[in-house]
Amino acid sequence: AQSVSQHNHHVILSEAASLELGCNYSYGGTVNLFWYVQYPGQHLQLLLKYFSGDPLVKGIKGFEAEFIKSKFSFNLRKPSVQWSDTAEYFCAVNSYTDKLIFGTGTRLQVFP
Amino acid sequence: EPEVTQTPSHQVTQMGQEVILRCVPISNHLYFYWYRQILGQKVEFLVSFYNNEISEKSEIFDDQFSVERPDGSNFTLKIRSTKLEDSAMYFCASRLGLAGEMDTQYFGPGTRLTVL
């Protein structure tokens, strides 16, 4: 069965620090990859997605992610975080069907 | 920007009671979904719905659950006889699905269901 692993459960950073959140998936076929963000009290919003093409994907709010097929990874990065990036981040994947398989989420806290 | 909306935001019910969670997907979307997140756990897929029928359902989606699109705008999830373990945040999602493309699912704000 497909699964998604997010290794960092809780990350605490100061503003301007760089961020990298890990995501690994377990399916060997063609996959579509997503990062969603959930700000406190708000709904899940799409940060970025990868379907095909350039494995380096740029999303909203300065986030990017790199798909490395050989490592089954889709890590999320941001060079300089802001206090407003405090949120929960979810990696998700789908493949031969459209159901999304989510990771457990990473809670990011950014302190001024 | 169009959004998926859900009502109510919080539903409290007694064990054994029926609940109906309501969702209004984005108006021109064709594919609809329900997911749930038990506190402290992953977001889990429940069911997908297209062309007025269930496309796929998970093991969680047993006979106690049903979905319906009663009119052109609403998409509902019914739990016939709630159990304590049904307490969770329930998210509705929709996607456009042009020409069968695998595009983005847009999520609603969720309904927090508490079963006492």
pLDDT tops 70 at residue B99: no
Q: pLDDT for B58-95, tens place per residue? A: 999 999 999 999 887 899 999 999 999 999 999 999 99
Q: pLDDT for A18-48, tens place per residue? A: 999 999 999 878 889 999 999 988 889 999 9
Neighbours of B10 (CB within 10 A): 10
Q: Mean pLDDT, chain B, as a whole number?
A: 93
* pLDDT the model gives residue B70: 87
Bridge partner residues of B77 (DSSP):
B21, B67
* pLDDT the model gives residue A2: 80
Burial of B7 (0-12, 13-18, 19+ CB in 10 A): middle
Hey, what are B57's tokens? 């359902």
Neighbours of A72 (CB within 10 A): 17
CB pairs under 8 A between A and B: 52
* pLDDT the model gives residue A41: 82
* pLDDT the model gives residue A1: 72
Residues of chain B in contact with residue A97, where contact means CB-CB under 8 angstroms, are 48, 55-56
* pLDDT the model gives residue B1: 76
* pLDDT the model gives residue A29: 81
Residues of chain A in contact with residue B31, where contact means CB-CB under 8 angstroms, are 98
Nearest CA among B47, B67, B64, B65 for reference residue B56 = B47
The model's confidence at residue B40, banded by pLDDT at 50, 70 and 90, is: confident
Q: pLDDT for A71-81, tens place per residue? A: 999 999 999 99
* pLDDT the model gives residue A46: 93
B107 touches chain A (CB under 8 A): yes
pLDDT tops 60 at residue B100: no
The model's confidence at residue B97, banded by pLDDT at 50, 70 and 90, is: confident
* pLDDT the model gives residue A20: 97
Handedness of CA A3, A75, A40, B96 (dihedral sign): negative
Which of B50, B61, B107, B111 to probe by mutation at the A interface, max A CB count within 10 Å?
A: B107
* pLDDT the model gives residue A57: 96
Mean pLDDT of B20-43: 94
Mean pLDDT of A47-66: 94
Percent of chain A residues past pLDDT 70, beyond the cut: 100
pLDDT tops 70 at residue A63: yes
